[in-house]
Every structure is written in C-alpha cells, then in structure tokens.
Amino acid sequence: MIQALNGTTGVLGIIGNPVSHSRSPVMQNAALQACGLNYVYVPFEVAPDSLGEAVAGLKALGVAGINVTIPYKTEVMKYLDGLDETAVAAGAVNTVNNESGRLIGYNTDGEGLLRALSSDLDFTPHGRTILLIGAGGAARGALAALCRGGARQVIVYNRTHRTAVELVSIMAARYSATRLIALPDITALESALPTVDLVVNATSLGMKGEKIPWLKLELLPHTAKVYDMVYAPPHTELLGESARLGLRAANGLGMLAAQGEGAFSVWTGVTPPSGLMQSVLSGIYDD
C-alpha cells in the first residue's frame, strides 16, 4: 500500500511489453516505503512502435526514473540523452535516470549478477574460469560484468555458435585481461567442464521445467558452483541436478533483487535495506 501521495511525489516505473507479470513494482514500492522516500513506482505497458513517444512523454512529465524490460532494453538506447559505461558494455539499458532533464541509461543487471554470486554462492570471479551458457541479452551483460570482475577466463557456449562468436569478439575488444573462448560444439564443452569454477545459465532453458540436456554437470570439479539466472520457477531442473551432485547452486532471484537495488540507488542515491527486495521476491516466487 502506498501510504501518502502528494504534490511532490516522484514517479518511478517500468516500461516493457508485457509488464503485468513484473514483480518490480512490489519490491521497489516496498523499498521506497521502508526508506520513507516520497516516490511511487508504477508499470507502463508500451505498445510496439510507441517507444520513442513513451520516452519523450516520460521526459516531458518529469518522471524521475524507469526500469526497462523486454523487448525494449536495446531499442531504448537510441532515445536517451546519454549512456553510462555499464550500459555501453552490456549493449542494453535496464535503468534510466532523469538527471536534470537528461535521460541517462544504465545497466544494473551485470552488477546484480556479481552481487548475487557473492551473497548466494560466496563466489568472486577474480582469477577464475567461468562457463557462460547462452549468448543473448542477459549473457552479454553477464559477460561484461564477469570481465570487469577480473575473471581469468570465460568460456561461452550457445546453441547458435555464431552468436557466441560475435559476443566473444565484441567483449574481447573491450576487456583484454580476460581470456574469452566461444566453444564450437558439445564435444568441446565436455572437454572444458573439468576446468570450470562456475557455470552460469543465461539461457531461457528451465523456465518451462526443462533440463539443459547437453550440460553434463558430473564432469565439473566437485568444488564448482552453479548459478541459474532463471528465477521462475525458482526450483529448476538445473538446480535439482546440481543438488543431487552436491554442487552449490542458486537461482536468479538474488540477481533480480540486486539489479533492482542497483536501480533504486541510481534513482534515489539511497541504498535500500539489505535483503528486503530478495525477501519480497522470495515470498512471491516460493512455490
């Protein structure tokens, strides 16, 4: 419940299509309330072909900040007045901040991943070898963050090899200190698994209860950890298989909460109460 709206209430929100499923309004409003900040966070469903008008409208109305979700994370970039380094590296924007009338794009997904790896798995990428599965939008932000976090080597495997090669080549031009490899096939994947410290699933496999059939977790070292970016459902086949093998693993709720905390800080300059967003999300997704 929003306690009090008045003439100075700031407006925050999320744009995407669809947005009715989004849990961001619940967790962001909970944090705004907990911090006693005079803002309200609302969903805005933006019709296809209306993104430019929507962004102009947000600016004209003095909306303080927005999250951006599927399918507009990349397209929104051309309508903004500036981009933070995090957005340039990720090639996508999930957070827009109104800075004295200029709309500046940020990406807090990658930082959210690093924070979730630390809090949920006690894992920091520095000097480590990471297997990243997937080469879509989430994988790109993750790869940039893992490179910024000092990973020694990131091995990318994707169903469509060409996309993995393109992703690696874009990141190699930005981050020369991390060795980046796009694996050509499942045989190469199986050879790489014994060298891996962390597996990150950045594909949509698992959202419909399916396995990742070609990922043989039993080939990993027993100390390896598994991070599944999928959060709905919260208990995926990948997490179940990791548990059966005694591998430490976590779902994507921590990252979802941490990207929201990052956005909150960009807009308000305030750090939300530790763990609040994750506990709100855990209540929603506990099945």
Measure Cα distances from 8 to 5, 37, 64, 91, 272 in Å.
8, 11, 12, 34, 21
Integer Cα distance of 126 and 149 in angstroms: 6
For residue 256, state whether it binds ligand NAP (rule: CB under 6 A).
yes
Quick check: is 73 catalytic?
Answer: yes
Which of residues 5, 50, 99, 159 is near ligand NAP by CB under 6 A? 159
What residues numbered 217-236 form the site for ligand NAP, per CB under 6 A? Answer: 229-231
Name residue 253's amino acid. L
Integer Cα distance of 203 and 227 in angstroms: 12
Which of residues 50, 191, 204, 274 is near ligand NAP by CB under 6 A? 204
Integer Cα distance of 111 and 114 in angstroms: 5
For residue 160, state whether it binds ligand NAP (rule: CB under 6 A).
yes
Please measure the distance between the N-terminal and C-terminal CA atoms of the chain and give it in whole angstroms: 24
Give the residue nearest to ligand NAP (CB).
136
Measure Cα distances from 94 to 72, 118, 151, 237, 286 in Å.
9, 21, 23, 28, 25
For tokens 């019709």, what's the residue? 47
User: Which one of 73, 208, 211, 216 is the catalytic residue?
Assistant: 73
> 97 vs 158, which CB is nearer to ligand NAP?
158
For residue 203, state whether it binds ligand NAP (rule: CB under 6 A).
yes
Integer Cα distance of 244 and 111 in angstroms: 29
For residue 272, state whether it binds ligand NAP (rule: CB under 6 A).
no
Q: What is the closest distance, in whole angstroms, from the C-beta atom of residue 141 to ligand NAP in the complex?
A: 7
Token digits of residue 51: 């993104």
Q: Of 33-41, 51-59, 249-257, 268-276, which part binds ligand NAP (CB under 6 A)?
A: 249-257
What residues numbered 13-72 form the site for ligand NAP, per CB under 6 A? Answer: none
> 205 vs 263, which CB is nearer to ligand NAP?
205
Which of residues 24, 67, 259, 278 is near ligand NAP by CB under 6 A? 259
Which of residues 65, 149, 252, 272 is near ligand NAP by CB under 6 A? 252
Q: DSSP states of 53-105 as a string?
A: HHHHHHHHTT--EEEE-TT-TTGGGGGSSEE-HHHHHHT--SEEEEETTEEEE
> 74 vs 124, which CB is nearer to ligand NAP?
74
What residues numbered 125-154 form the site for ligand NAP, per CB under 6 A? Answer: 134-139
How many CA atoms lie within 13 Å of 174's alpha carbon, on the beta-carbon side? 20
Q: Which residues bind ligand NAP (CB under 6 A)?
A: 109, 134-139, 158-160, 163, 202-205, 207, 229-231, 252, 255-256, 259
Q: Which residues are catalytic?
A: 73
